[in-house]
């Protein structure tokens, strides 16, 4: 009933750009923070970027200055614009959000299905 759907991953050469999208759907009352994580094979999942309900943004040092997170509250969506991509950015990217549902009136931690980003040298 409530889900996150991601899109925008793909194969790109070093120095190129990709834009990831993630939209939440269902009986959503409100959304607090929205974030992007990534996980490379054999490595732990790491936080990439976070945007609060007020629009405050934070980034991992490894992507600062290259990635931009944004959100569209009307669409319950979050985006990640990735520029100047490097091979070390290669990973599966996951969106994550904490949503407040209308019915039942509970808070749920949602994860997208993941989208593969591959950067070639």
The DSSP string of 29-49 is EEEEEEEEEEE-TTS--EEEE
Closest alpha carbon to 85 in 119, 35, 39: 119
Residue 113's pLDDT band (boundaries 50, 70, 90)?
A: very high
Predicted pLDDT at 120: 97
Judge whether 3 and 110 are in contact, CB under 8 Å. Answer: yes
Evaluate whether 79 touches 71 at the Cβ level (below 8 Å).
yes
pLDDT at 110: 93
pLDDT confidence of residue 14: 98
What are the pLDDT digits (tens) for 8-48? 999 999 999 999 999 999 989 889 899 999 999 999 999 99
Question: What whole-number percentage of the chain has pLDDT above 90?
Answer: 86
How open is the CA angle 66-70-10, to the nearest 5 degrees? Answer: 60
């Amino acid at each position: 009933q409530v889900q996150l759907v991601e899109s925008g991953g793909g194969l790109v050469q070093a120095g190129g750009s990709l834009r990831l999208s993630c939209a939440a759907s269902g009986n959503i009352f409100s959304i607090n923070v929205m974030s992007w994580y990534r996980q490379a094979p054999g490595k732990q999942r790491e936080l990439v970027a976070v945007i609060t309900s007020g629009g405050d943004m934070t980034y991992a040092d490894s992507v600062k200055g290259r990635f931009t997170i944004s959100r569209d509250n009307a669409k319950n969506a979050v985006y990640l614009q990735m520029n100047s991509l490097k091979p070390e950015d290669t990973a599966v990217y996951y969106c994550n959000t904490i949503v407040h549902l209308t019915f039942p009136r509970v808070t749920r931690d949602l994860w997208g299905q993941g989208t593969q980003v591959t950067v070639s040298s």
